Amino acid sequence: MTEQIPTKSIVEGAFLAAITAVLFIISIYIPLLGTLVSFLCPLPIIILCLRHSLKFAIISTFISGILVTILAGPLQGLMVLLGFGILGLTLGFGIKKELSLTDIIIIGSIASLISKGLILLIGFWLLDLNTLLFDIEEIDRIITQSLNFYNSMGLSPEQLASLKDSLTQTMSIVRMAFPGMIILASIFDTILNYWVARLILKRFGYKLANFSLFSSWRAHKSFFWSYLLGMVFIILGTTYKIPLLNKIGVNIQVFFTVVFLIYGLSLTAYILEQFKIKNFLKWVIYILVCFQPILSQIVTWAAILDIWIDFRKVIATKKE
């Protein structure tokens, strides 16, 4: 006997599949709002996982992909399944099984990484992204076009030379550290989607585990040794002319530099709380730290030192 699915569940599944499709269409065609809406796309899939079986949620996800294919094209329909379907199903499964927050973030990040990998493979195959990202001549052409644009704006030859060096270095780092950046993007993607899902599902009576207070985050000692290992790989790769070892070291360095920047912002948040700074000013300071290289470097170093010194304990002791 085949399992009979209640009519109410079918209607709800179709409704949530349609919402997923609409959210994805908005994320494509409305630039600024679309970026924000994209974090809501996995939400209907998560709700389906919580209210119904995983099998039913998978079927509804495929239906949303078909709807997007009809409305926007097959490539966009595939993006729904890969970009939001895999992550939404994984987060929904983890939440339904009442896994720990750490486990949910880990499996969600792995799922997000797999989905991004599949999307990149499709991009390399259909859109020739390989040429755009890794072809030296293509990169030189992009830099030349950028310099021509700035030259038309009246920049001096010295400024153009400095800008060219900066662009060349940036493109070189992006090419080399691309795997590490994809891993970081997968983790951030998972955390943001879970955070948004928790805020919204809370209003529907679902209790999801919350993150610890941001100002209390501290980096683990293993992060420092990993960061140091990346530095060793770079030195060995440069000394013995081993490009692969150098590339691995750069990816480790980039990954943990961003990680330590986040922990540095956490320490900054704790210090600002001690001075009772208002939230608006806090965000202004966070933005300044992220976009000012000197400030971001100081904050990153502070996070590394915090592993051994524990600045929060020092501040608390001085207050007492």
User: Is the pLDDT assigned to residue 320 strictly greater than 90?
Assistant: no
Nearest to residue 311, comparing CAs of 183, 216, 197? 216
Least confident span in 24-33, 50-59, 206-215: 24-33
Can you say whether the dihedral through the CA atoms of 135, 140, 141, 143 is positive or negative? positive
Least confident span in 134-143, 206-215, 310-319: 134-143
Mean pLDDT of 231-245: 92
| Confidence (pTM) | 0.84
What is d(CA 288, CA 298) in angstroms, rounded to the nearest whole number?
Answer: 12
What is the per-residue pLDDT for 29? 77
What is the per-residue pLDDT for 1? 42
CATH topology (fold) of 1-135+177-209 = Arp2/3 complex 21 kDa subunit ARPC3 (1.10.1760)
Identify the band that residue 4 occupies on the pLDDT scale cut at 50, 70 and 90. Answer: low
What is the per-residue pLDDT for 131? 46
Residue length of the chain: 320
Mean pLDDT of 194-211: 87
Helices 43-51 and 7-29: crossing angle in degrees, nearest 10, is 170
What is the per-residue pLDDT for 144? 72
What is d(CA 94, CA 99) in angstroms, rounded to the nearest whole number?
Answer: 6
What is d(CA 234, CA 228) in angstroms, rounded to the nearest whole number?
Answer: 10
Task: Encode pLDDT of 114-144 as tens digits.
Answer: 998 888 887 777 665 554 455 555 566 666 7
User: Is the pLDDT assigned to residue 226 strictly greater than 90?
Assistant: yes
Neighbour count for residue 24 (Cβ, 10 Å): 27
List the chain domain ranges: 1-135+177-209, 212-320
Return the DSSP state at 80: I
